[in-house]
């Protein structure tokens, strides 16, 4: 049974569109020619925060205000895009926003979160450690925890999948990167609600394979590290609720290397003059890896975000791979 009905998705879209317009999906001829397929890029880098997470921030904070009016602030953990979305929506709604990030997090994403009004606190060596601290502090201070995966986040994120499937019918396959899983689970949920046959392929980094390993093992698998420059996918501990959806709804999981992600970022820029951060380019990297089996098909790739630090972008455009 689909997670959402079409009416629920449309209601979420009406709310999201009070703060942003739909994002475009374009067929770029250089990319389609290079792959040998009819490739459509969903440009979630064109949102008010430069990433798809902004949609979930809008719906989640709206839900908090309606259901927990006594709450004065939120607390969450992030590598950057989720934090921007929550800071933006929380501050606009009159709440405070406390955001935990690991040490060494993207300087430019931290700056953006502060610009939206969030209080950014560095803690721990990776996202999962920062997440546990955010949960502890929220309980201690009476703040609402914003988890990385929640039905009200998915309700907003689902609107980009609805836009894509509505505007580009008959997609054979859609490639979606996986961090904690809100993106791929929303795509699967909308596909099922619309009764489509489109295959959904999950994409992870070779350096952060928790989702892929979990699906292959048939149980949740944690990894010791998640050291990828694609910080939006740098997750060690899978989210059980997300796993239940993508393990049953995804066609397969593909792991892409740091080299492949860097190559996809570079081709995105040269072919479309759009910036893609590491996670934002991962779906395209997976399509490039599987191009031989995708010939002549109609394919969607989600460019989930364009918030790439300048130093990282310079490294990629030189033909090098950023170090973590």
Name the residue ranges covered by the structural domains of the chain: 6-52+151-317, 53-146
| 53-146 has the same fold as 6-52+151-317 | yes
Q: Which of 202, 156, 212, 149 is CA-nearest to residue 178?
A: 202
Q: Kindly report the pTM of this predicted structure.
A: 0.96
pLDDT at 2: 77
pLDDT > 90? residue 164 = yes
- Give the CATH number of domain 53-146; options: 3.40.30.10, 3.30.470.20, 3.40.50.1100, 3.40.50.300: 3.40.50.1100
**183 Cα distance to chain centroid:** 5
Residue-by-residue DSSP string for 51-97: BTHHHHHHHHHHHHHHH-TT--EEEEE-SSHHHHHHHHHHHHTT-EE
Neighbours of 129 (CB within 10 A): 17
Q: Tens digits of per-residue pLDDT, 256-269? A: 999 999 999 999 99
pLDDT at 1: 75
Q: Tens digits of per-residue pLDDT, 281-317? A: 999 999 999 999 999 999 999 999 999 999 999 999 9
- Taking the CA atoms of residue 287, residue 288, residue 290 and residue 296 in that order, the dihedral angle to the nearest 10 degrees is 80
Write the class of the CATH domain 6-52+151-317: alpha beta
Q: Tens digits of per-residue pLDDT, 75-94? A: 999 999 999 999 999 999 99
SS3 content of the chain, % helix, strand, coil (to 5): 50, 15, 35
Q: Tens digits of per-residue pLDDT, 94-124? A: 999 999 999 999 999 999 999 999 999 999 9
Q: Is residue 229 very low, low, confident or very high in pLDDT (cuts 50, 70, 90)?
A: very high
Helix (H, G, I), strand (E, B) or coil at 275: coil
Helix (H, G, I), strand (E, B) or coil at 313: helix
Work out the average pLDDT over 224-230: 96
pLDDT at 216: 97
């Amino acid at each position: 049974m689909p997670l959402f009905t079409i009416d629920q998705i449309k209601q979420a879209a009406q709310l999201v569109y009070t703060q942003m317009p739909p994002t475009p999906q374009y067929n770029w001829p250089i990319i389609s020619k290079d792959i040998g397929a009819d490739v459509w890029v969903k440009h979630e880098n064109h949102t008010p925060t430069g990433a798809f997470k902004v949609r979930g921030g809008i719906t989640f904070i709206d839900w908090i205000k309606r259901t927990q009016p006594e709450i004065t602030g939120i607390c969450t953990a992030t590598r950057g895009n989720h934090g921007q979305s929550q800071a933006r929506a929380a501050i606009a709604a009159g709440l405070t926003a406390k955001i935990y990030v690991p040490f060494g997090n993207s300087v430019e994403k931290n700056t953006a979160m502060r610009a939206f009004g969030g209080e950014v606190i560095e803690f721990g060596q990776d996202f999962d450690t920062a997440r546990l601290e955010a949960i502890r502090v929220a309980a201690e201070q009476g703040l609402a925890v914003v988890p990385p995966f929640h039905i009200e986040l998915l309700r907003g994120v689902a609107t980009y999948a609805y836009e894509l499937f509505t505007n580009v019918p008959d997609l054979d396959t859609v490639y979606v990167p996986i961090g904690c899983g809100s993106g791929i689970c929303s795509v699967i949920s909308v596909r099922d609600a619309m009764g489509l046959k489109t295959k959904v392929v999950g994409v992870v980094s070779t350096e952060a394979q928790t989702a892929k390993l979990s699906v292959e093992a048939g149980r949740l698998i944690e990894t010791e590290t998640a050291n990828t420059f694609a910080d939006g996918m740098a997750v060690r501990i899978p989210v059980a609720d997300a796993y239940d959806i993508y393990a049953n709804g995804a066609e397969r999981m593909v792991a892409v290397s740091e080299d492949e992600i860097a190559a996809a970022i570079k081709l995105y820029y040269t072919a479309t003059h759009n910036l893609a951060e590491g996670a934002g380019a991962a779906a395209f990297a997976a399509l490039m890896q599987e191009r031989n089996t995708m010939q002549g098909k109609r394919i969607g790739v989600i460019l989930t975000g364009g918030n790439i630090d300048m130093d990282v972008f310079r490294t990629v455009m030189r033909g090098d791979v950023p170090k973590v």
